[in-house]
Structure 1
């Protein structure tokens, strides 16, 4: 927890549960279901929905919805598998929608 105190944290917009660290952002230029989204290397205090194949803007991926573990709000998704070679870097990464998270400096 000491490491978290000096970090900028992202919280679920609904219940303020900690879900990600600012330092884990890979990109801020992604598109979510409802607008802008961030690609994170890690997420915390989330649960995963079932895996499903989806045709996204960048091709076919296997994804799983990501839910806040406290309030069950859908925050984005996790890339489980990318079928295009150029998209493999997304595997194991998280998309969190900007409208579903809030940032606070501690």
Structure 2
């Protein structure tokens, strides 16, 4: 395996729950209204330090999508997915965007989320 290059972001960042590798900045959040099997999920315009898995078709609440799971480049943890294709016209805005599952990442103030209650375990990502 070659040398691993990791991008360090500046400002308020979301990072890997397990190894603290940076993924995204708060300014790249498009929506905090998404859900996944572990609770809340956020839609981001840009995400770094992830590898993209195989594309697959999934039926989601909003219809059929082609998505690819995304994994932390440092520790390999599954942290969300990337929308490749949205088949419903009203969902096209998701194409090329990323979902980070809140249970699997730390917020900008070091806070995580409880999988069962969707409540902050420590800190809050809504703080100013």
TM-score above 0.5: yes
> Aligned match of 2:79 in 58, 62, 75?
75
Residue 28 (structure 2) pairs with residue 27 (structure 1): no
TM-score by length of 2: 0.76
Structure 1 unaligned blocks of 5 or more: none
Task: Find the aligned partners of 2:108 and 2:40 in 1 and give their Cα distance.
Answer: 18
RMSD: 1.3
Tell me the equivalent position of 2:96. 92
Task: Find the aligned partners of 2:101 and 2:36 in 1 and give their Cα distance.
Answer: 6
Task: Find the aligned partners of 2:73 and 2:17 in 1 and give their Cα distance.
Answer: 13
> Aligned match of 1:101 in 99, 102, 105?
105
Shift of residue 82, structure 1, vs aligned partner: 0.2
Q: Extract structure 1 runs of 4+ deviating beyond 2 A.
A: none
**Higher Rg:** 2
TM-score by length of 1: 0.92
How many residues align? The count is 102
Mapping of residues 4-83 of structure 1, within 5 Å: 4-5=9-10, 7-83=11-87
Structure that is richer in helix per residue: 1
Structure 2 unaligned blocks of 5 or more: 1-8, 110-128
Task: Find the aligned partners of 1:36 and 1:84 in 2 and give their Cα distance.
Answer: 22
Structure that is richer in strand per residue: 1
Task: Find the aligned partners of 1:104 and 1:42 in 2 and give their Cα distance.
Answer: 16
